[in-house]
Structure 1
Amino acid sequence: MLDAIDVTKQFGANTALDGVSLSVSPGDIYCLLGANGAGKTTLVNLFLNFIEPTSGNLKIGELDVTLKPLETKRLLAYIPEQVTLYAPLTGLENLAFFSSLAIGEQLARPRLLELLEAAGLPSGAADNRGATYSKGMRQKVGIAIALAKNAKALLLDEPTSGLDPSAANEFSELLVNASRSGVAILTTTHDLFHAKQTGTRIGIMKRGRLVDELKSEDVSHADLEALYLKHMKN
Protein backbone atom coordinates (compact mmCIF):
# COMPACT_ATOMS: atom_id res chain seq x y z
CA MET A 1 0.00 0.00 0.00
CA LEU A 2 2.92 2.32 0.79
CA ASP A 3 5.99 1.82 -1.37
CA ALA A 4 9.24 3.76 -1.50
CA ILE A 5 11.45 2.61 -4.36
CA ASP A 6 15.12 3.64 -4.30
CA VAL A 7 14.22 7.11 -3.03
CA THR A 8 16.85 9.81 -2.70
CA LYS A 9 16.21 13.33 -1.46
CA GLN A 10 18.82 16.08 -1.50
CA PHE A 11 18.59 19.54 -0.01
CA GLY A 12 21.45 21.33 -1.72
CA ALA A 13 24.63 19.51 -0.72
CA ASN A 14 22.85 17.60 2.06
CA THR A 15 21.52 14.13 1.28
CA ALA A 16 18.54 13.54 3.55
CA LEU A 17 17.61 10.19 2.00
CA ASP A 18 19.98 7.93 0.14
CA GLY A 19 18.41 5.15 -1.94
CA VAL A 20 15.70 4.15 0.55
CA SER A 21 13.31 1.33 -0.37
CA LEU A 22 10.55 -0.02 1.85
CA SER A 23 7.04 -1.39 1.55
CA VAL A 24 4.10 -1.30 3.98
CA SER A 25 1.25 -3.71 3.22
CA PRO A 26 -2.37 -3.41 4.39
CA GLY A 27 -2.50 -4.47 8.03
CA ASP A 28 1.19 -3.72 8.64
CA ILE A 29 2.42 -1.35 11.33
CA TYR A 30 5.88 -0.33 10.16
CA CYS A 31 7.85 1.49 12.87
CA LEU A 32 10.77 3.53 11.58
CA LEU A 33 13.48 4.05 14.20
CA GLY A 34 16.37 6.49 14.01
CA ALA A 35 18.03 9.46 15.61
CA ASN A 36 17.17 13.06 14.74
CA GLY A 37 18.33 13.81 11.21
CA ALA A 38 18.15 10.16 10.09
CA GLY A 39 15.60 11.01 7.37
CA LYS A 40 12.44 9.58 8.94
CA THR A 41 10.33 12.73 8.72
CA THR A 42 11.65 13.46 5.22
CA LEU A 43 10.29 10.11 4.07
CA VAL A 44 6.87 10.84 5.59
CA ASN A 45 6.82 14.26 3.91
CA LEU A 46 7.61 12.63 0.57
CA PHE A 47 4.66 10.25 0.91
CA LEU A 48 2.49 13.27 1.70
CA ASN A 49 3.86 15.08 -1.38
CA PHE A 50 4.90 18.03 0.77
CA ILE A 51 8.23 17.71 -1.05
CA GLU A 52 9.33 15.79 -4.15
CA PRO A 53 12.09 13.18 -4.39
CA THR A 54 15.35 13.97 -6.10
CA SER A 55 15.17 10.47 -7.59
CA GLY A 56 13.19 7.29 -7.09
CA ASN A 57 9.45 6.74 -6.77
CA LEU A 58 6.81 6.68 -4.06
CA LYS A 59 3.49 4.89 -4.51
CA ILE A 60 0.29 4.62 -2.53
CA GLY A 61 -1.57 1.65 -3.84
CA GLU A 62 -0.86 1.71 -7.55
CA LEU A 63 -0.67 5.51 -7.72
CA ASP A 64 2.54 7.48 -8.03
CA VAL A 65 2.62 10.20 -5.36
CA THR A 66 4.35 12.75 -7.58
CA LEU A 67 2.12 12.16 -10.61
CA LYS A 68 -1.18 11.77 -8.70
CA PRO A 69 -0.84 14.00 -5.62
CA LEU A 70 -4.55 14.68 -5.07
CA GLU A 71 -5.63 11.10 -5.63
CA THR A 72 -3.02 9.71 -3.24
CA LYS A 73 -3.90 12.23 -0.53
CA ARG A 74 -7.46 10.90 -0.57
CA LEU A 75 -6.11 7.52 0.53
CA LEU A 76 -4.04 8.95 3.38
CA ALA A 77 -4.45 10.32 6.86
CA TYR A 78 -1.58 12.05 8.65
CA ILE A 79 -1.05 12.58 12.36
CA PRO A 80 1.93 14.82 13.20
CA GLU A 81 3.78 14.88 16.51
CA GLN A 82 1.56 17.79 17.62
CA VAL A 83 -2.06 17.62 16.45
CA THR A 84 -3.40 21.18 16.23
CA LEU A 85 -7.04 21.86 16.99
CA TYR A 86 -8.96 25.13 16.99
CA ALA A 87 -8.86 26.05 20.68
CA PRO A 88 -12.27 27.80 20.87
CA LEU A 89 -14.07 24.87 19.22
CA THR A 90 -15.08 21.68 21.01
CA GLY A 91 -13.56 18.36 20.10
CA LEU A 92 -16.74 17.46 18.25
CA GLU A 93 -16.75 20.76 16.36
CA ASN A 94 -13.10 20.27 15.39
CA LEU A 95 -13.89 16.79 14.10
CA ALA A 96 -16.91 18.10 12.20
CA PHE A 97 -14.82 20.78 10.52
CA PHE A 98 -11.78 18.69 9.61
CA SER A 99 -13.78 15.64 8.53
CA SER A 100 -15.91 17.82 6.24
CA LEU A 101 -12.72 19.06 4.57
CA ALA A 102 -11.48 15.47 4.20
CA ILE A 103 -14.64 13.85 2.84
CA GLY A 104 -16.59 16.78 1.42
CA GLU A 105 -19.71 16.35 3.54
CA GLN A 106 -20.97 17.29 6.99
CA LEU A 107 -21.42 14.33 9.31
CA ALA A 108 -24.31 14.23 11.77
CA ARG A 109 -23.63 14.56 15.49
CA PRO A 110 -24.37 10.86 16.27
CA ARG A 111 -21.78 9.77 13.69
CA LEU A 112 -19.22 12.26 15.01
CA LEU A 113 -19.72 10.97 18.55
CA GLU A 114 -19.38 7.41 17.28
CA LEU A 115 -16.05 8.26 15.65
CA LEU A 116 -14.71 9.97 18.76
CA GLU A 117 -15.72 6.98 20.87
CA ALA A 118 -13.99 4.61 18.44
CA ALA A 119 -10.86 6.77 18.70
CA GLY A 120 -10.91 6.41 22.48
CA LEU A 121 -11.81 9.96 23.49
CA PRO A 122 -13.04 9.93 27.11
CA SER A 123 -16.81 9.95 27.52
CA GLY A 124 -18.15 13.46 27.93
CA ALA A 125 -15.08 15.17 26.45
CA ALA A 126 -16.58 15.67 22.99
CA ASP A 127 -18.22 18.96 23.99
CA ASN A 128 -15.19 20.36 25.82
CA ARG A 129 -13.15 23.05 24.06
CA GLY A 130 -9.98 22.03 22.26
CA ALA A 131 -8.00 24.38 24.49
CA THR A 132 -8.62 21.98 27.39
CA TYR A 133 -7.39 18.87 25.56
CA SER A 134 -4.19 17.05 26.44
CA LYS A 135 -1.83 15.92 23.69
CA GLY A 136 -3.25 12.41 23.87
CA MET A 137 -6.80 13.71 23.48
CA ARG A 138 -5.82 15.83 20.47
CA GLN A 139 -4.25 12.78 18.86
CA LYS A 140 -7.46 10.84 19.38
CA VAL A 141 -9.34 13.52 17.47
CA GLY A 142 -6.74 13.02 14.74
CA ILE A 143 -7.50 9.29 14.74
CA ALA A 144 -11.22 10.08 14.53
CA ILE A 145 -10.57 12.22 11.44
CA ALA A 146 -8.71 9.30 9.87
CA LEU A 147 -11.64 7.00 10.68
CA ALA A 148 -14.09 9.48 9.14
CA LYS A 149 -11.98 9.59 6.01
CA ASN A 150 -11.80 5.80 5.86
CA ALA A 151 -8.09 6.18 5.12
CA LYS A 152 -6.32 3.20 3.59
CA ALA A 153 -2.93 4.33 4.89
CA LEU A 154 -1.94 6.20 8.04
CA LEU A 155 1.26 8.22 8.43
CA LEU A 156 2.43 9.27 11.89
CA ASP A 157 5.44 11.28 12.98
CA GLU A 158 6.58 10.59 16.58
CA PRO A 159 3.01 9.97 17.80
CA THR A 160 3.96 8.86 21.33
CA SER A 161 6.48 11.62 22.02
CA GLY A 162 5.52 13.41 25.22
CA LEU A 163 2.79 10.95 26.18
CA ASP A 164 2.77 9.28 29.58
CA PRO A 165 3.00 5.45 29.51
CA SER A 166 -0.75 4.96 29.91
CA ALA A 167 -1.62 7.35 27.07
CA ALA A 168 1.09 5.84 24.86
CA ASN A 169 -0.33 2.36 25.47
CA GLU A 170 -3.85 3.55 24.61
CA PHE A 171 -2.56 5.10 21.41
CA SER A 172 -0.73 1.89 20.48
CA GLU A 173 -3.98 -0.04 20.90
CA LEU A 174 -5.72 2.35 18.49
CA LEU A 175 -3.04 1.69 15.87
CA VAL A 176 -3.35 -2.07 16.33
CA ASN A 177 -7.13 -1.82 15.89
CA ALA A 178 -6.67 0.22 12.71
CA SER A 179 -4.21 -2.33 11.33
CA ARG A 180 -6.72 -5.12 11.99
CA SER A 181 -9.09 -3.25 9.68
CA GLY A 182 -6.49 -3.47 6.92
CA VAL A 183 -4.98 0.01 7.24
CA ALA A 184 -1.29 0.28 6.28
CA ILE A 185 0.53 2.25 8.98
CA LEU A 186 3.94 3.92 8.79
CA THR A 187 5.09 5.61 11.98
CA THR A 188 8.36 7.23 12.95
CA THR A 189 9.57 6.97 16.53
CA HIS A 190 12.52 7.22 18.89
CA ASP A 191 10.77 4.83 21.27
CA LEU A 192 12.16 1.30 20.97
CA PHE A 193 9.55 -0.04 23.39
CA HIS A 194 6.73 1.44 21.31
CA ALA A 195 8.24 -0.01 18.13
CA LYS A 196 8.52 -3.50 19.59
CA GLN A 197 5.14 -3.39 21.34
CA THR A 198 3.16 -1.95 18.44
CA GLY A 199 4.97 -2.66 15.19
CA THR A 200 4.68 -5.71 13.00
CA ARG A 201 7.86 -4.61 11.23
CA ILE A 202 10.71 -2.34 12.26
CA GLY A 203 13.17 -0.39 10.14
CA ILE A 204 16.27 1.36 11.43
CA MET A 205 17.49 4.49 9.65
CA LYS A 206 20.85 6.20 9.93
CA ARG A 207 22.10 9.19 7.96
CA GLY A 208 19.45 8.85 5.27
CA ARG A 209 19.82 5.10 4.78
CA LEU A 210 17.67 2.19 5.83
CA VAL A 211 20.37 0.13 7.54
CA ASP A 212 18.24 -2.71 8.91
CA GLU A 213 14.74 -4.16 8.65
CA LEU A 214 13.15 -6.94 10.69
CA LYS A 215 9.91 -8.45 11.90
CA SER A 216 9.00 -7.40 15.41
CA GLU A 217 8.15 -10.97 16.39
CA ASP A 218 11.68 -12.10 15.53
CA VAL A 219 13.44 -9.92 18.10
CA SER A 220 13.19 -9.34 21.86
CA HIS A 221 13.16 -5.90 23.50
CA ALA A 222 16.75 -6.44 24.65
CA ASP A 223 17.93 -7.65 21.24
CA LEU A 224 16.27 -4.72 19.48
CA GLU A 225 17.97 -2.27 21.83
CA ALA A 226 21.35 -3.94 21.28
CA LEU A 227 20.88 -3.94 17.50
CA TYR A 228 19.82 -0.30 17.47
CA LEU A 229 22.78 0.81 19.59
CA LYS A 230 25.14 -1.20 17.39
CA HIS A 231 23.93 0.63 14.29
CA MET A 232 24.12 4.02 16.01
CA LYS A 233 27.73 3.42 17.10
CA ASN A 234 28.99 2.26 13.71
Structure 2
Amino acid sequence: MTAVNKITSIELQTVKPQVSTTQIDKAQSIIEVSSLNFSIKNKVILKDLNFTVNKGEIYALLGGNGAGKSTTLKTLLGFNKPTDGSVKVAGKEVTQALDFVRGKTAYLPESATLYPHLTARENVEYFLSLADIKKTDEQINAAFIRVDLQQDAWDRHMQTYSKGMRQKTAIALAILREAPIFLLDEPTSGLDPVAIDEFNQLVRELALTGATILMVTHDVYGACQVANRIGLLSAGELVGEFDAPQNGRIDTEQVHAAFAQRGA
Protein backbone atom coordinates (compact mmCIF):
# COMPACT_ATOMS: atom_id res chain seq x y z
CA MET A 1 0.00 0.00 0.00
CA THR A 2 1.59 3.24 -1.14
CA ALA A 3 0.50 6.73 -0.16
CA VAL A 4 1.75 9.98 -1.66
CA ASN A 5 3.50 11.97 1.02
CA LYS A 6 1.56 15.18 1.63
CA ILE A 7 4.53 17.10 2.96
CA THR A 8 7.14 16.43 0.28
CA SER A 9 7.04 15.16 -3.26
CA ILE A 10 8.76 11.93 -2.24
CA GLU A 11 6.60 8.80 -2.16
CA LEU A 12 7.08 6.55 0.85
CA GLN A 13 5.60 3.20 1.76
CA THR A 14 3.06 3.83 4.53
CA VAL A 15 0.24 2.00 6.20
CA LYS A 16 -3.11 3.57 5.38
CA PRO A 17 -4.72 5.38 8.33
CA GLN A 18 -7.13 3.22 10.30
CA VAL A 19 -8.71 3.31 13.73
CA SER A 20 -5.91 2.82 16.22
CA THR A 21 -5.79 0.17 18.90
CA THR A 22 -6.76 2.73 21.56
CA GLN A 23 -9.86 3.95 19.66
CA ILE A 24 -8.70 7.56 19.71
CA ASP A 25 -11.25 10.35 19.55
CA LYS A 26 -9.93 12.30 16.57
CA ALA A 27 -11.85 15.40 17.70
CA GLN A 28 -9.55 15.76 20.70
CA SER A 29 -6.20 17.02 19.41
CA ILE A 30 -4.12 17.71 22.51
CA ILE A 31 -0.86 18.64 20.78
CA GLU A 32 -1.08 20.68 17.57
CA VAL A 33 2.02 21.69 15.64
CA SER A 34 1.14 23.83 12.64
CA SER A 35 3.59 25.15 10.01
CA LEU A 36 6.31 25.28 12.65
CA ASN A 37 9.60 26.81 11.63
CA PHE A 38 12.58 27.34 13.89
CA SER A 39 15.98 28.77 12.99
CA ILE A 40 19.12 29.73 14.89
CA LYS A 41 21.43 32.31 13.29
CA ASN A 42 19.88 31.69 9.87
CA LYS A 43 20.32 27.92 10.24
CA VAL A 44 17.00 26.15 9.70
CA ILE A 45 16.36 23.51 12.38
CA LEU A 46 12.63 22.86 11.84
CA LYS A 47 10.91 23.48 8.51
CA ASP A 48 7.14 23.70 8.03
CA LEU A 49 6.49 21.00 10.63
CA ASN A 50 2.88 19.81 10.94
CA PHE A 51 1.48 17.06 13.15
CA THR A 52 -1.11 16.46 15.85
CA VAL A 53 -1.30 14.09 18.80
CA ASN A 54 -4.72 13.14 20.05
CA LYS A 55 -6.01 12.24 23.48
CA GLY A 56 -5.09 8.66 24.35
CA GLU A 57 -2.61 8.41 21.48
CA ILE A 58 1.05 7.42 21.42
CA TYR A 59 2.84 9.35 18.69
CA ALA A 60 6.51 8.63 17.97
CA LEU A 61 8.60 11.28 16.25
CA LEU A 62 11.31 9.16 14.65
CA GLY A 63 14.60 10.46 13.29
CA GLY A 64 18.36 10.28 13.50
CA ASN A 65 20.77 12.61 15.23
CA GLY A 66 20.24 16.20 14.14
CA ALA A 67 16.78 15.55 12.71
CA GLY A 68 15.18 18.10 15.06
CA LYS A 69 13.50 15.78 17.54
CA SER A 70 14.73 17.36 20.77
CA THR A 71 14.27 20.85 19.31
CA THR A 72 10.61 19.99 18.75
CA LEU A 73 10.22 18.92 22.39
CA LYS A 74 11.94 22.08 23.64
CA THR A 75 9.58 24.17 21.54
CA LEU A 76 6.58 22.36 23.01
CA LEU A 77 7.93 23.12 26.48
CA GLY A 78 8.43 26.80 25.63
CA PHE A 79 12.22 26.81 25.68
CA ASN A 80 12.36 27.69 21.99
CA LYS A 81 10.25 30.44 20.46
CA PRO A 82 9.06 29.50 16.95
CA THR A 83 10.47 31.55 14.12
CA ASP A 84 7.09 31.05 12.48
CA GLY A 85 4.04 28.86 12.92
CA SER A 86 1.98 27.67 15.86
CA VAL A 87 2.45 25.20 18.71
CA LYS A 88 -0.57 24.45 20.90
CA VAL A 89 -0.88 22.17 23.90
CA ALA A 90 -4.33 21.46 25.36
CA GLY A 91 -5.76 24.23 23.21
CA LYS A 92 -3.33 26.90 24.41
CA GLU A 93 -0.58 28.57 22.40
CA VAL A 94 2.61 27.56 24.21
CA THR A 95 4.28 30.96 24.03
CA GLN A 96 1.21 32.61 25.58
CA ALA A 97 0.43 30.10 28.34
CA LEU A 98 3.71 28.63 29.58
CA ASP A 99 2.62 27.97 33.16
CA PHE A 100 -0.58 26.29 31.99
CA VAL A 101 1.24 24.09 29.46
CA ARG A 102 4.00 23.05 31.86
CA GLY A 103 1.41 22.28 34.51
CA LYS A 104 -0.28 19.86 32.12
CA THR A 105 2.94 18.27 30.88
CA ALA A 106 5.31 15.65 32.25
CA TYR A 107 8.70 15.72 30.53
CA LEU A 108 10.87 12.61 30.79
CA PRO A 109 14.41 13.16 29.48
CA GLU A 110 16.71 10.40 28.27
CA SER A 111 18.08 10.12 31.79
CA ALA A 112 15.61 11.02 34.52
CA THR A 113 17.03 13.73 36.81
CA LEU A 114 16.49 12.44 40.33
CA TYR A 115 18.59 12.86 43.46
CA PRO A 116 20.81 9.78 43.94
CA HIS A 117 21.21 10.29 47.71
CA LEU A 118 17.42 10.19 48.23
CA THR A 119 15.07 7.23 48.06
CA ALA A 120 12.37 6.93 45.43
CA ARG A 121 9.78 7.98 47.99
CA GLU A 122 11.85 10.96 49.14
CA ASN A 123 12.41 12.09 45.54
CA VAL A 124 8.70 11.91 44.78
CA GLU A 125 7.74 13.73 47.98
CA TYR A 126 10.31 16.46 47.32
CA PHE A 127 9.28 17.17 43.74
CA LEU A 128 5.59 17.09 44.68
CA SER A 129 6.27 19.64 47.43
CA LEU A 130 7.88 21.97 44.87
CA ALA A 131 4.60 21.88 42.95
CA ASP A 132 2.65 22.34 46.19
CA ILE A 133 0.95 18.96 45.71
CA LYS A 134 0.13 16.82 48.73
CA LYS A 135 -0.27 13.06 48.41
CA THR A 136 -0.68 10.42 51.09
CA ASP A 137 1.68 7.49 51.55
CA GLU A 138 -1.09 5.26 50.20
CA GLN A 139 -1.36 7.33 47.00
CA ILE A 140 2.40 7.25 46.50
CA ASN A 141 2.43 3.49 47.09
CA ALA A 142 -0.36 3.07 44.54
CA ALA A 143 1.65 5.01 41.94
CA PHE A 144 4.71 2.82 42.54
CA ILE A 145 2.56 -0.28 42.17
CA ARG A 146 1.01 1.07 38.98
CA VAL A 147 4.42 1.50 37.32
CA ASP A 148 5.53 -1.92 38.61
CA LEU A 149 8.37 -0.61 40.76
CA GLN A 150 9.23 -3.44 43.12
CA GLN A 151 8.26 -2.73 46.72
CA ASP A 152 11.65 -3.49 48.22
CA ALA A 153 13.09 -0.58 46.20
CA TRP A 154 10.71 2.16 47.33
CA ASP A 155 12.88 3.18 50.28
CA ARG A 156 16.27 2.50 48.74
CA HIS A 157 18.58 5.28 47.62
CA MET A 158 18.23 6.16 43.95
CA GLN A 159 21.97 5.55 43.39
CA THR A 160 21.25 1.81 43.63
CA TYR A 161 18.64 1.98 40.84
CA SER A 162 18.96 0.83 37.25
CA LYS A 163 17.96 3.27 34.52
CA GLY A 164 14.68 1.41 34.02
CA MET A 165 13.84 1.82 37.71
CA ARG A 166 14.61 5.55 37.54
CA GLN A 167 12.32 5.89 34.53
CA LYS A 168 9.54 4.13 36.44
CA THR A 169 10.02 6.47 39.40
CA ALA A 170 9.80 9.50 37.12
CA ILE A 171 6.57 8.21 35.57
CA ALA A 172 5.13 7.51 39.03
CA LEU A 173 5.86 11.15 39.86
CA ALA A 174 4.08 12.28 36.69
CA ILE A 175 1.07 10.13 37.57
CA LEU A 176 0.91 11.68 41.04
CA ARG A 177 1.08 15.15 39.46
CA GLU A 178 -1.91 14.02 37.36
CA ALA A 179 -0.20 15.24 34.21
CA PRO A 180 -2.34 14.30 31.19
CA ILE A 181 0.44 14.87 28.64
CA PHE A 182 3.77 13.02 28.50
CA LEU A 183 6.78 14.17 26.46
CA LEU A 184 9.39 11.41 26.30
CA ASP A 185 12.90 12.02 24.97
CA GLU A 186 14.62 8.76 23.91
CA PRO A 187 12.94 7.01 26.87
CA THR A 188 14.26 3.49 26.18
CA SER A 189 17.84 4.41 25.27
CA GLY A 190 20.22 2.28 27.32
CA LEU A 191 17.53 -0.07 28.66
CA ASP A 192 17.85 -3.83 28.33
CA PRO A 193 15.19 -5.74 26.31
CA VAL A 194 13.16 -6.73 29.38
CA ALA A 195 13.13 -3.16 30.69
CA ILE A 196 12.11 -1.88 27.23
CA ASP A 197 9.16 -4.28 27.13
CA GLU A 198 8.11 -3.21 30.63
CA PHE A 199 8.41 0.46 29.72
CA ASN A 200 6.41 0.05 26.50
CA GLN A 201 3.67 -1.80 28.37
CA LEU A 202 3.50 1.01 30.91
CA VAL A 203 3.21 3.61 28.15
CA ARG A 204 0.38 1.65 26.51
CA GLU A 205 -1.46 1.46 29.82
CA LEU A 206 -1.10 5.22 30.32
CA ALA A 207 -2.54 5.84 26.87
CA LEU A 208 -5.50 3.58 27.63
CA THR A 209 -6.34 5.82 30.59
CA GLY A 210 -6.47 8.84 28.25
CA ALA A 211 -2.93 10.18 28.56
CA THR A 212 -1.49 11.85 25.47
CA ILE A 213 2.04 10.69 24.73
CA LEU A 214 4.62 12.15 22.36
CA MET A 215 7.94 10.33 22.29
CA VAL A 216 11.01 11.17 20.21
CA THR A 217 13.36 8.37 19.31
CA HIS A 218 15.82 7.02 16.77
CA ASP A 219 14.76 3.42 17.52
CA VAL A 220 12.68 2.17 14.57
CA TYR A 221 11.76 -1.15 16.17
CA GLY A 222 10.78 0.37 19.51
CA ALA A 223 8.64 3.04 17.85
CA CYS A 224 6.78 0.42 15.80
CA GLN A 225 6.16 -1.70 18.88
CA VAL A 226 4.48 0.99 20.95
CA ALA A 227 3.19 3.85 18.78
CA ASN A 228 -0.25 4.35 17.26
CA ARG A 229 1.35 6.70 14.75
CA ILE A 230 4.89 7.48 13.68
CA GLY A 231 6.10 10.70 12.11
CA LEU A 232 9.39 10.39 10.21
CA LEU A 233 11.54 13.47 10.74
CA SER A 234 14.49 14.27 8.46
CA ALA A 235 16.51 17.50 8.56
CA GLY A 236 13.69 19.24 10.41
CA GLU A 237 10.94 18.17 8.01
CA LEU A 238 8.19 15.61 8.47
CA VAL A 239 8.66 13.39 5.43
CA GLY A 240 6.18 10.62 6.16
CA GLU A 241 3.63 9.26 8.64
CA PHE A 242 2.66 5.69 9.47
CA ASP A 243 -0.54 4.54 11.18
CA ALA A 244 -1.05 1.31 13.10
CA PRO A 245 -3.73 -0.97 11.66
CA GLN A 246 -6.66 -1.88 13.88
CA ASN A 247 -5.53 -4.35 16.56
CA GLY A 248 -2.03 -4.40 15.11
CA ARG A 249 1.31 -2.64 15.04
CA ILE A 250 3.10 -0.53 12.48
CA ASP A 251 5.16 -2.53 9.99
CA THR A 252 8.81 -2.29 11.04
CA GLU A 253 10.21 -3.12 7.60
CA GLN A 254 8.23 -0.35 5.91
CA VAL A 255 9.35 2.23 8.44
CA HIS A 256 12.95 1.05 8.35
CA ALA A 257 12.98 1.28 4.53
CA ALA A 258 11.64 4.82 4.64
CA PHE A 259 14.09 5.74 7.40
CA ALA A 260 17.02 4.44 5.34
CA GLN A 261 15.74 6.07 2.15
CA ARG A 262 15.57 9.50 3.71
CA GLY A 263 18.72 9.15 5.78
CA ALA A 264 16.58 10.17 8.76
Quote the offset at 1:225 in angstroms.
1.3
Q: Which residue is equivalent to 1:135?
A: 163
Amino acid at match of 1:158: E
Candidates 189, 192, 195, aligned match of 1:161: 189
Mapped pair 1:20 → 2:49: yes
For 1:73 and 1:4, the matched residues in 2 are separated by: 16
RMSD of aligned C-alpha atoms? 1.2
Worse-superposed segment, 216-225 or 58-67: 216-225
**TM-score normalised per structure 1:** 0.96
Deviation per CA, 1:46-82: give whole Å up to 9, x if none: 1111221111111111111000100111111110000
Which of the numbers 144, 159, 163 marks the counterpart of 2:172?
Answer: 144
Indicate the residue corresponding to 1:32 in structure 2.
61
Q: Corresponding residue for 2:253?
A: 222
Distance 1:164 1:29 in 2: 21
| Letter of the structure 1 residue corresponding to residue 58 of structure 2 | I
Distance in 2 (alpha carbons) for counterparts of 1:219 and 1:63: 31
- In the alignment, the residues of structure 2 paired with residue 229 and residue 44 of structure 1 have an alpha-carbon distance, to the nearest angstrom, of 23
For the pair 1:76 / 2:110, whether they are aligned, the reply is no
Q: Which has the higher helix share?
A: 1
C-alpha deviation, 1:130, in angstroms: 0.8
1:37-116 matches, within 5 Å, as: 37-102=66-131, 104-116=132-144
CA deviation vs aligned residue, 1:111-143 (integer Å, no higher than 9, x gap): 111111111211210000011111111111110
Q: Percent identity?
A: 36
Q: Do residues 231 (structure 1) and 262 (structure 2) align?
A: yes
Q: How far apart are 1:101 and its partner, in Å?
A: 2.4
Q: Look up the match of 1:176.
A: 204
Give the TM-score, by structure 2 length: 0.85
Answer yes or no: is the 8 Å Cα contact 1:100–1:107 preserved in 2: no
The one-letter amino acid paired with 2:181 is: A
Per-residue deviation, residues 31-52 of structure 1 (Å, max 9, x unmatched): 1110100000000001111221
Q: 2: CA distance between counterparts of 1:105 and 1:232?
A: 45
Residue 198, structure 1, aligned to residue 198, structure 2: no
- Structure 2: how far apart are the matches of 1:155 and 1:229? 25
- Tell me the secondary structure at the aligned position of residue 134 of structure 2: coil
Paired residue secondary structure (1:16): strand
Q: Residue 222 of structure 2 aligns to a residue in which SS?
A: helix
Describe the SS at the equivalent of 1:124. helix
- Give the aligned partner of residue 40 of structure 2: 11
Instruction: Give the Cα separation in 1 of the matches to 2:213 and 2:133.
Output: 25
Deviation (angstroms), 1:219: 4.2
Amino acid at match of 1:137: M
- AA paired with 1:220? D
Runs (4 or more) in structure 1 with deviation over 2 Å come to 99-102, 216-219
Any stretches of 5+ residues in structure 2 without a counterpart? 1-29
The Cα of 1:186 is off from its aligned counterpart by 0.4
Deviation at 1:227, TM superposition (A): 1.8
Instruction: Give, in whole Å, the separation in 1 of the partners of 2:250 and 2:155.
Output: 43
